[in-house]
Structure 1
Amino acid sequence: PALGKSEKPASPAVEQPVSPTTAAFAEAAFGVGSRLPEQLAQNIERIESLTQRLISALAKRRTHSPGVEMPGPELFTTATTAWVKLLAEQPERVLGQQVSYWGETLRHFAEAQSALARGTLMPPASEGPRDRRFSNPLWEAHPFFNFIKRQYQINAQALEEAASALDLPEMTDRRRIEWFTRQMIDMMAPTNFLATNPDALEKALETEGESLVKGLENLVRDVEQNSGELIVSLADRDAFRVGENIGTTEGTVVVRTKLYELIQYKPTTEQVHQIPLVIFPPWINKYYILDLKPQNSLIKWIVDQGYTLFVVAWKNPDPSYGDTGMDDYVAAYLEVMDRVLDQTDQKKLNAIGYCIAGTTLALTLSLLKQRGDDRVNSATFFTTLTDFADQGEFTAYLQEDFVSGIEEEASRTGILGAQLMTRTFSFLRANDLVWGPAIRSYMLGEMPPAFDLLFWNGDGTNLPGRMAVEYLRGLCQQNRFAKEGFDLMGHRLHIGEVTVPLCAIACETDHIAPWKDSWRGVAQMGARDKTFILSESGHIAGIINPPSKKKYGHYTSAVGFDQDEQHWRDKAQYHEGSWWGRWGEWLAGHAGRMVEARVPAEGFGPAPGVYVHERV
């Protein structure tokens, strides 16, 4: 049966001269002396030009250290050794797996042949849960596509079973091999190839190849914009302007240093809480995730609750920042706190740390504890890890082969580049952040959506080389902060020395900072006043969850931290709507009396400042 949803009359034959490539294609496809429809001929001409641009763009790709491109040979040796051991000790199991795979494949082929022989052209519906990659009806109704889909599922199951059967005493090796196996399975999905993607084929026929040309244009654009790296654009880069239609909350840059700008926001209430509030966002991304549009801006919401709010906008480092380390960021925290207290003429402040900035806030609080400095009245942690005993989905990357490769890359270039980090985080959700967007952009020729959150996701930052290695080795790999202590600025810092009143917000489906790991870190902190809130959704959407949307709920529990995280979850109570209001009540209890609103002094220009506009 025809793939196209509708047929169009052929366009008039091309009369003007065509390139040798187009003429050769026409003769090969339709016979000697044949001409192509005009639109199709034009599209082939455009493909020639775009291909040359693509080759030129790919030639600009920088060479990376091998260690950041693939796992080291030790992992391949481990997998091979485990398979040989299984074959030697349990040959019947290996043969059984193979026979099962062959039998399932032959049975599938026989069923398809039988359906065709009966002339039904309607193969039986596939087994298993629905997969949104195969939502096109042709995956069920068309014998070819149904056969391809079912065989892919059989292959995927065989690979998963083969990986799980390996005798791997080290859990880290098992998790890595299973993770890379899933990556291969996702990569080989038939939807990722033009010849076996009915959506792409239908659209190519309907548009006489125009969709494929637009797709190639999108591909060339992405490679050119990323200096030879292939990183799929998730959002329309021209749809947003920081400071114009996102990141528009009114404020002033009151401090600018080599490493950060400090923004003080203009009050919207006549009175504010006495104790000021400062947010330390992660420097792995830009701060305006907290200030996208007015209706979902956490920054605006906080200001509207009557707080004198300061936010740090970190510098996007270039190679000259290669020797900037974790000590420089902690020193910046202390300096920011000094500036906030000076600007407000106060002795105490409240602080928020998001993700890696929350980890660093915990380090800073431990340092202040040892120094006998009580300037921080309370701390809030957003999706923060302080105990890295379980590396979760980052297990594949946090082993010696990759970390050594990152160390070599950082030593050579001075930075851990944003493109490498973007690629790493994207492959944690490959179908959603790599293959799905690539299909829509490169096969269907669609422009990326005008989605503010995805725009922010693509506006990444570099990390200073020394800081990245210190963080990966000392905190992530060796987990020193939760174990023997993390050495910094002449002190050995420990998680138990975080004793200020604190509130931690984690997210239920967070794959970057899993809530259970976040909970375990909070449980080890020395504070007596500890509150833990579990939001629905993930690392970003669970935090950027304004009350007006009423989209995601949250959980609280009164059982404390004496038992494990699952006990806390089992005893938790569910609440409809955003956690913002509940946290706001908690914060108000640590923010002092109401005083006259503070207007920012003249500084270095309006928010969002200069550093936020720097792109890699």
Structure 2
Amino acid sequence: MNKSTSKQAKVGKARVPTTLVPTDITAEPQHKHYDIDRAIRAAVAKMAGGISPHSAYEAWSDWAMHLNRSPGRQLELTERAQSNVLKLLRHSASTLLGKDSTPPFQPKDYDHRFVDPSWNNAPFIFWQQGFLAMQDWWDQATDNMRGLHKQDADRTRFQMRQLLDFGAPSNLPWMNPEIIAETARTGGRNLVDGAFHLTEDMIQTLTQTHKPAPEGYEIGVDLACTPGEIVFRNTLFELIQYAPQTDQVQAEPILFIPAWIMKYYILDLSPHNSMINYLVQQGFTVFMISWRNPTADLSGLSLEDYRINGVLAALDAINTIVPDRKVHANGYCLGGTLLAITAATMARDGDERLASVTLMATQVDFAEAGELLMFVDESQIAFVEDMMWSQGYLDRPQMARTFSAIRAEDLIYTRAVNRYFLGKEDLPTDIGVWNGDTTRMPARMHSEYLRGLFLENRLTAGRFAVEGRVIALKDISTPMFVIATETDHIAPWRSVYKIQLFTDCDLTFVLTKGGHNGGILSEPGHADRHYRIGHRAAGALYKGPDLWLFRQTAVSGSWWPEYTNWLNENSSDLVSPPQSGPLSPGFEPPCAAPGTYVHQT
């Protein structure tokens, strides 16, 4: 790839970040009695964990009516039930007679509740197989039917899976061989410890207190500890500039834009797996946005606030510190969606300050957004909006329950069994501590995100307007580097891949092993890692995800060195590190990294 001999960026007049003035999401005129309805719905929403009862009822009604008028499907399900019962009887008879018999039903790949060998012994194998047979039947019963809305089929399957998982034999102390054995070994001490853990967790849930970080996981000391300082702050974010670790650096700095659904330090965990620390060691000047954790007084923050007073304000600050240089912008998750919107707007307006755009686990098209779509329809969004209206934000625990429910087998029930019945303490990990460091979502912004992007999919439909004019992703001409992860249930990799449908620029696509967070944290030396990488030249014809996957060979190791090489190819030259410090004599850095916003609870 040719390097330009001159990387003088086209920059406009520096933008002075404005004071944020929250705007009520219910700005349209409403009758005064309307608030009574909202208050009632908000109270129901809190009790229901943000799940709309109407959406659930509608899904089951749709499923039941289509099944009722499908006698052929009813016969199929009857035969399936008979077949499953016969399989259970044959296996049970063989087991009781002491014969080797392969269990006819197997847990799903991600279900680890029955991995203990004692589940293969009688009578536990009978209970396990009975549960899996019932699960198999319901999977078939809630499969798509002709005329049935796919979202309703997915919802009925999901809700039935939640009900089955709640009553799984692994959750019942008298049916779980691990609990029985541990109770016998400790004389019941595990149940006493478990009761203590349950009480502790219930108190924390009711009081919404924030657990202090365990020893060895202190923010700024053990986590988020890459050296740097705050060089800019406004109402919305703090900007961290990391201290150089090499004598020379690439001329173009990197700006990271994390999602405000998470604390930024997922990208700066422990020193050994910090992506930020790695890039600084490779000779890059790195800046990081650390978002404020909004409270009810900032309920009116919009997506536009995050674009103007967030991304653009950060670019203005970097242009002052590193003048006349373009910037490599990297957006993660929702931060990547915001970056794509910002980059398209900048391209439309002739703002050429971006050297490249990197999107990590980011969706721009939400038609195939995976299991999260089960929680998005008009009724559901209205339900969430009413809950946010009453409290001013969507709290992270409310979001965390949604993400956990998608993989309830491991994220809810396995942990509950270990903690409450086996009496085990949660072993602290850096990513576990980060995951428990919760944040909030401003009411207006989250409503705009759910409606404009998830529900109406405006960005790729040519209906997403910025400053009154529609933007188009195909206007982005800067090189792009896009990373997706194989087992991501928040941003499925085929959905992330669709960026190639809506852009024409030079694009490198990486598919890496792992999930939404684990796949991104893929530092060199991480065991059992692999990735696939492909390049699409600017203006090349589109290839579908399955064809792309078939043609790409898995490469062992971390994708981070590939990213470093790509950044080097799209940079101009090596220079002395820029000065770090205040943007003007009147602005003094308030503190060293990681700053103050990251500590907000």
TM-score normalised by length of structure 1: 0.83
Task: Provide closer, same or farther for how the CA distance between residues 148 and 227 of structure 1 changes in structure 2, counting only shifts above 3 A.
Answer: same
> 1:550–1:576: 8 Å Cα contact kept in structure 2?
no
TM-fit CA distance, 1:521: 1.7
Q: Deviations over 1:369-421 (max 9, x none)?
A: 22211111111111111011212111211122321111111111110111011
Amino acid at match of 1:76: Y
Are the aligned partners of 1:276 and 1:591 in contact in 2 as well (CA < 8 Å)? Answer: no
Q: Which 4+ stretches in 1 moved above 6 angstroms? A: none
Displacement of 1:452: 0.9
Q: Bigger shift: 343-352 or 73-82?
A: 73-82
Displacement, 1:561?
A: 5.0
Pairing 1:88-107 to 2, within 5 Å after superposition: 88-90=69-71, 93-94=73-74, 97-98=77-78, 101=81, 104-105=84-85
Aligned partner of 1:203 in structure 2 is 182
Identity of aligned residues (%): 30
State whether structure 2 residue 124 is matched by structure 1 residue 138.
Answer: no
User: What pairs with 1:505-524 in structure 2 (closer than 5 Å)?
Assistant: 505-524=483-502
Tell whether the 8 Å contact from 1:67 to 1:405 is kept in structure 2 after alignment: no
2:218 to 241, 250, 254: 241
With 491-500 and 146-155 compared, the bigger mean Cα shift is at: 491-500
User: 1:99 deviation in Å?
Assistant: 6.5
* Equivalent of 1:253 in 211, 230, 244: 230
1:368 to 335, 346, 350: 346
Report deviation, 1:195.
2.0
Moved more, 205-214 or 576-585: 205-214
Equivalent runs, 1:324-339 vs 2, <5 Å? 324-331=301-308, 332-339=310-317
Shift, 1:272, TM fit: 0.9
Which 5+ residue runs of structure 2 have no aligned equivalent? 1-41, 583-588
Distance 2:82 2:553 in 1: 50
- How far the C-alpha of 1:100 sits from its partner, in A, is 5.2
Amino acid at match of 1:458: G
Structure 1 residue 435 and structure 2 residue 413: aligned? yes
1:411 aligns with 2:380: no
- Number of the residue aligned with 2:503: 525
Check conservation: 2:144, 2:153, Cα contact below 8 A. no
Partner of 2:61: 80
Q: Does 1 or 2 have the higher relative contact order (CA < 8 Å, sep 6+)?
A: 2
Partner of 2:294 in structure 1?
317
Q: 1:604 aligns with which of 561, 569, 590?
A: 590
Alignment of 1:261-410 (within 5 A): 261-331=238-308, 332-410=310-388
Question: Retained in 2: the 8 A contact 1:550–1:578?
Answer: no
The whole-number CA distance in structure 2 between the counterparts of 1:590 and 1:114 is: 65
Distance across 2 between alignment mates of 1:476 and 1:576: 35
Contact (CA 8 Å) 1:279, 1:310: kept in 2 or not? Answer: yes
Map 1:107-186; keep pairs closer than 5 Å.
108=88, 112=92, 124-129=101-106, 132-143=112-123, 145-164=124-143, 166-186=145-165
Mapping 1:449-460, distance limit 5 Å: 449-460=427-438
Q: How many residues align?
A: 547
CA distance in 2 between counterparts of 1:439 and 1:236 reads 23
Contact 1:67 1:402 in 2 (8 A): no
Q: 1:488 corresponds to which residue? A: 466
Cα distance change of structure 1 residues 423 and 392 upon mapping to structure 2, 3 Å threshold = same
Match of 1:13 in 2: none
Q: Which amino acid aligns with 2:133?
A: I
Q: What does the per-residue CA deviation read over 1:436-479, in whole Å, with 9 as the maximum and x for residues that have no partner? A: 11111111110001211122112121000100010011011111
1:564 and 2:536 are equivalent in the alignment: no
Structure 1 212/63 Cα, relative in aligned 2: closer, same or farther at 3 Å?
farther
Q: Name the residue aligned to 1:36.
A: none
Deviations 1:18-72 (A, max 9, x none): xxxxxxxxxxxxxxxxxxxxxxxxxxxxxxxxxxxxxxxxxxx987446754343
Instruction: Report how far residue 497 of structure 1 moved.
Output: 2.4
Partner residue in 1 for 2:8: none
Identify the residue that residue 216 of structure 1 maps to in structure 2: 195
SS in 1 for 2:154: helix
Q: Structure 1 residue 124: deviation in Å?
A: 4.9
Asked if the contact 2:51–2:383 (Cα under 8 Å) also holds between the matched residues in 1, the reply is no
| Structure 2 partner of 1:613 | 599
What RMSD in Å do the two structures reach over aligned CA positions?
A: 2.7
* Cα drift, residue 343 of structure 1: 1.2
Contact 2:369 2:491 in 1 (8 A): no
After alignment, is 177-186 or 315-324 more displaced? Answer: 177-186
2:514 maps to amino acid: S
The secondary structure found in structure 2 opposite 1:573 is: coil
Paired amino acid for 2:158: W
Task: Tell me which residue corresponds to 2:573.
Answer: 593
Q: Which has the larger radius of gyration?
A: 1
Q: Distance in 1 between matches of 2:359 and 2:259?
A: 12
Could you tell me which amino acid in structure 1 is paired with residue 543 of structure 2?
Q
5+ long unaligned stretches in structure 1 = 1-60
Stretch moving more, 314-323 or 402-411: 402-411
Q: What SS does the corresponding residue of 2:306 show, helix, strand or coil?
A: helix
Distance in 2 of aligned mates of 1:152 and 1:467: 42
Distance 1:115 1:371 in 2: 72
* Aligned residue type for 2:559: W
